[in-house]
Structures are given as C-alpha cells and as structure tokens.
Amino acid sequence: MKGYRLSIIRHGMTDANRKGIYIGRTDFPLSDEGSAELASKSETLTYPKVHRVYSSPLCRCKETAEIIFPEIEVTEVEDLTEADLGEFEGKSAGELIDREDYKKWIKSGEAPPDGESIQEITARVYKALHGIITDMMESGITHSAVVTHAGIIKTMLMGFGIPKYNLSGYSIEYGEGFDVITDARMWLNEQAFEILGVCPY
C-alpha cells in the first residue's frame, strides 16, 4: 500500500520569539537572525526533496517555507495556524506569572481567556491533516512538507502519532521537526501516522 510521508517543520525565529513573548496568531515576520539561521541550516543540513509544501498562513511560516523550499509554491492551510492564546497574546511569561488562569494553562492546558482549548486545537489540527493527506492521495503525491508552529506540531504528534510521546516539555528547534508516514488504511481507519524521526537530517 502506498505511503504518504510528511516532513513537519517549525518556522524560524521572530523578534517576539527571541524576547520570550507569546504571539500565537499575531502575525510576526521572521527576524533577520531567524532568516539567517534558516539559510545556514539549509546549507549545512539536508532537508527532504518534497513534492508539495503546505504552510500556516502566518508570515513566519510562509517565509520559512520560501527559504527552505525556494522552488516549490506554498499552499496555505488555515487550520495550521498557531493556537489562539487570547489574553496571553503579546505578553511574556514574566508578565503573566502571577495570574491564576496562566498557571492553570501551564499546568493543565486549560484554555486561556478568550483563547482556544486543547480540544478545539486538536479538532482543527485533525481537519488540517485530513485535508493535506486527502489532497496527497488524490494528487498521487507521496512526500510533502508541512511548515507550522511548535504548538501545532506537538498537538499533531501527541494526538495522532505512533508511538505516543509526551512532548509537552519538549523544545522543537527553529527550522526543525519530524518526519511521519501513514497510508490510506492507517489514516482513514485509525487517524494515525508513524513517527519516523527528526527532520532535517
């Protein structure tokens, strides 16, 4: 049975990332440092040869895709957007540390005020994955890249990946991520994929 491989990659660094600010859906571009780091990784590491690139519509992801995969047109997928952090958007951990709702969010994943819950994010991530894998099946594409956000990648792997990992405290580096693979039966029957390892190589 034909396999469908995804290289799921985190966007490069922004100025807000460097400052430790939660940006969620706030549309920051890559910083000069972030762009340079991605260019360096593209020269020193091996990114996969893919047939299609799917990306969050936010600038930091589209710009990352254009640096890593310059010859492939980017297909935007709305549901790959980072979590809506509600009242936590634009604030640092230091500004939020004394808030009880922030402590609950860190400890249990409870939705931020006016933000998304884990359940809402997981449902949206499933919709994104299902759309991407279906598109690959219909197009006969066997290897694609997905450029998105750290929170979305963790939700993908913890929600649909085999073997199961707890990645809640795991840091995904900029411009890096994981390779996964599924087939029609595994995805349609189990809504699952196999985690192969890290990417780039």
Give the rounded distance of the alpha carbon of 54 from its chain centre: 11
Integer Cα distance of 104 and 100 in angstroms: 6
What local confidence, expressed as pLDDT, does residue 169 receive? 65
Cβ neighbours of residue 37 closer than 8 Å, sequence gap 6 or more = 12, 13, 174, 175
Give the number of other Cβ atoms within 10 Å of residue 62's Cβ: 19
Give me the domains of the chain, ranges plus CATH numbers: 3-199 (3.40.50.1240)
- Per the CB < 8 A criterion, the answer to whether 105 and 112 are in contact is yes
Give me the tens of pLDDT residue by residue for the chain, a chain 201 residues long: 789 999 999 999 999 999 999 999 999 999 999 999 999 999 999 999 999 999 999 999 999 999 999 999 999 999 999 999 999 999 999 999 999 999 999 888 889 999 999 999 999 999 999 999 999 999 999 999 999 999 999 999 999 999 987 776 678 999 999 999 999 999 999 999 999 999 999
